[in-house]
Amino acid sequence: MKKFLILLMLICSFSGYSQNWVTDSDIHSKISSQSQFDDGHSIVIIEFWAEFNKDNAFKDWQKLKGVEYYRCDISKSPESKKEFRIRMAPTIIIFVDGIKEEVFKAGLDLLCPVELPELNEAIQQAQKSSQF
C-alpha cells in the first residue's frame, strides 16, 4: 500500500508538468480556441518539434503565463509541417485569436531560436496589438 501511495504521488506531481501535444487532427481547433483567461483574447504558442532534436527544444514552457502552449511533432503531423512551412525544428509560432503573429525559426545549427525573455516580450507585444 505504501508503494502504491508513493507511486500515485509521483504521478500526480508530474502531471502538472506534462507537455500538451497537437497533431494534424486538432491543431486548428487549438489555434482558434477561445481564451481561458479573462482578457478576451486567445494567445496560443505552437512549438514544431522533432524527436531527433529534443535537446534543443524550448525548455521554459512552464514559465509562460497567459498563453496556451503546445508542441507538434513534425514527424507525426506532416500536413501541419507543410501548411506552416516548417523547415527546421524547433520552430515556434505565436497565434493571436487564430492568426499567426510571429515566427521564431531555428537556424542551420538547430538551436532553439528564442529564449524565455524574448518570447515573453513577443507575447506582451501580441497582447498589446490585440487590444485594438
pLDDT digits 0-9 by tens, 11-43: 444 434 578 999 999 999 999 876 555 556 789
Question: Which is more confidently placed, 37 or 117?
Answer: 117
**CB 21, CB 73: distance < 8 Å:** yes
Residue 22 and residue 71 in contact, taking contact as beta carbons nearer than 8 Å: yes
44 or 8, which is more confident?
A: 44
Q: What pLDDT does 108 receive?
A: 95
Q: Is the bond leading into 90 cis (omega within 30 degrees of zero)?
A: yes
Q: State residue 10's pLDDT score.
A: 47
Please state, for a pLDDT cut of 90, what percent of the chain lies above it.
70
Decide if pLDDT at 114 tops 50: yes
More confident residue, 85 or 1: 85
C-alpha cell, 2: 505504501
The whole-angstrom separation of Cα 65 and Cα 90 is: 20
Q: What are phi and psi of 11, to 5 degrees?
A: -60, -45
According to the model, what pLDDT value does residue 122 have? 96
Mean pLDDT of 63-89: 96
Rounded-to-integer distance, Cα 113 and Cα 106, Å:
5
> Around Cβ 17, how many Cβ atoms within 10 Å?
8
Placement of cell 524565455 in the chain:
116
Could you give phi then psi for residue 58, rounded to 5 degrees? -65, 125
